[in-house]
Every structure is written in structure tokens, then in C-alpha cells.
Amino acid sequence: MIRVLLADDHTLIRRVVREILERAGDIEVVAEACNGREAEAQAGETHPDVALMDLDMPECDGFEATERVLACSPETRVVILTASQQEQLALLAIQRGAIGYLTKDIEPETLVAAIRSAARNEISIPGPLATRVLAHLRTLTLSGKIREVPPADFSQGATSRAFYYKVQQRLHGSALNLPNLSRPLTEREIEVLDLIRKGRKNREIAQELNIAESTVHKHIQNIFEKLHARSRTEAIYLLSSRN
């Protein structure tokens, strides 16, 4: 039996997905979470085989939640289920450790197959999106933004997670470098955005940086304006994509 954790902030989505998965016969939903922090807690308690996770969640988004889940339950395989078909977001999710990336317009049987693939430690990305992800990865590689990826990561059968963690490590050191911005982020704005990436709330950011919560709100407004972002998740993605 494949044990699954569902993480989505919409109760209806969780209910429908649970029904689809449990009809398969070999899949059991062992826990649910409505945000990233709860997903981390549930993963640490239940250690599911697969965590099926949305990206845009309160408290802690799917990118940060993926890292948190894998930190407390290393054997869990994370599959993203989201509305976004952007290949950049898919690649970013995989860089964080996800083994699959699905969009919410897929057929039920595709979802079930993806859960089974993840349980076997196999990557699951729908064909057209997978093609775009590989094309985007090739562009990054040719532009020098991803370098020295060892062929052995593919040819010797290393797990996808091990490979993409190496990619993440190469990108992480320069994740806050924004040379292409016409109005670069200030040092304080970079600190705020990095804390957002770590799942901190405005109140927690204010306490950690010893500034007023209203000042944090103003910094976030400036970040959104400079990055042309509409949400925290989008700001984090845009920050990473400018490397």
C-alpha cells in the first residue's frame, strides 16, 4: 500500500484527490495538511511514501515545504500538484527536491500513475511540460547558469533527488544576485525576501530583523514592485530565475 500525504489549502481539492487516490486500491491517504508548515509536521509524524503538494499555500509555500518535508522525512517522495504550467516553476520545484510536477487539469488516471511512479522513485512530469522543462534547463546550461553537471548522475542511475540537489547547491550560492534589475533590491529587501523564502510571517521577519511589522510590509511592497511580482511565491521564483 502506498501511503500518501495531501497538502493543499483548499478542502474541496483535498477531498476530491483523496477519493481519486483511494479508489485506486493500492493507495492510502494517511494525512492531510492545509499549509506547508502543517505538511512538515504531518510528514515528520507519518513518514508517507509520497507527499502530494500544492505550490501556492499560506504559512509556507510548496517550494519551502518540499525542503522541510524532505528534511524531516528523507524517504518521502514529493509530487507537486498545482494550477501553474510554467516550466520555470516546475524546474524550481525539482531543484527543491520534488520528484514529480503535475497540473490540476490532468486526468484522474494520470494522477494515480504519477503517485505510483513516485513511490518507485521515478520522475513524473507530463510529456509536453517535461519537454519545456528540459528546454529551459538546456538554456540555463548553455548560458552558463548551470555548470559542470556530471554525466554520471544520469548514466549511473543516481536518483533524481540526488542530481537536482546538486543543481540546487550550485545555484544556491548566487540565489540573491540580481544584476539584471533596473532597480536592484536593497540589502534589507534581500534579507526580507530570503526570510520569506524560509516561510517566515511578517511578524516573525520583524522580530528577526528587529524592525517594525509595518516596515516589513513596506519592504515587501517594494520587492513586489521591483520584481513585478503579485505574490510571495512569484517573488521567490522571479528572484531565482534572474540568476
Cell of 233: 511565491
Cell of 7: 497538502
What gap in Å lies between CA 121 and CA 221, rounded to an integer? 40
Q: Note whether 5 and 31 are within 8 A (CB).
A: yes
Cell of 229: 511580482
Is pLDDT above 70 for 15?
Answer: yes
Residue 23 is predicted with a pLDDT of 95
Domains (ranges, CATH) in the chain? 2-134 (3.40.50.2300), 187-241 (1.10.10.10)
pLDDT in tens, 218-230: 998 888 888 877 6
**DSSP letter, residue 115:** H
DSSP labels for 36-102?
A: HHHHHHHHHHH--SEEEE-SS-SSS-HHHHHHHHHHH-TTPEEEEEES---HHHHHHHHHTT-SEEE
pLDDT-based confidence at residue 199 (cuts at 50, 70, 90): confident
pLDDT-based confidence at residue 7 (cuts at 50, 70, 90): very high
Residue 242 is predicted with a pLDDT of 53
pLDDT-based confidence at residue 177 (cuts at 50, 70, 90): very low
Q: Average the pLDDT over 99-128 and give the result.
A: 89
Q: 0.85 exceeded by the pTM?
A: no
Residue of 201 and 199 predicted with greater confidence? 201
**What 3-state class would DSSP assign to 159?**
coil
pLDDT in tens, 74-112: 889 999 998 888 777 888 888 888 889 998 888 999 999
Is pLDDT above 60 for 232?
Answer: yes
DSSP labels for 7-37?
A: E-S-HHHHHHHHHHHHHTSSEEEEEEESSHH
pLDDT in tens, 18-44: 999 999 999 999 999 999 999 999 999
Residue 178 is predicted with a pLDDT of 40
Other C-beta atoms closer than 10 Å to the C-beta of 196 total 24
pLDDT in tens, 129-165: 767 777 766 676 666 655 443 333 333 333 334 334 4
Q: What is the widest separation between alpha-carbon atoms in the chain?
A: 54
Q: Distance from first CA to last CA of the chain, Å, rounded?
A: 42
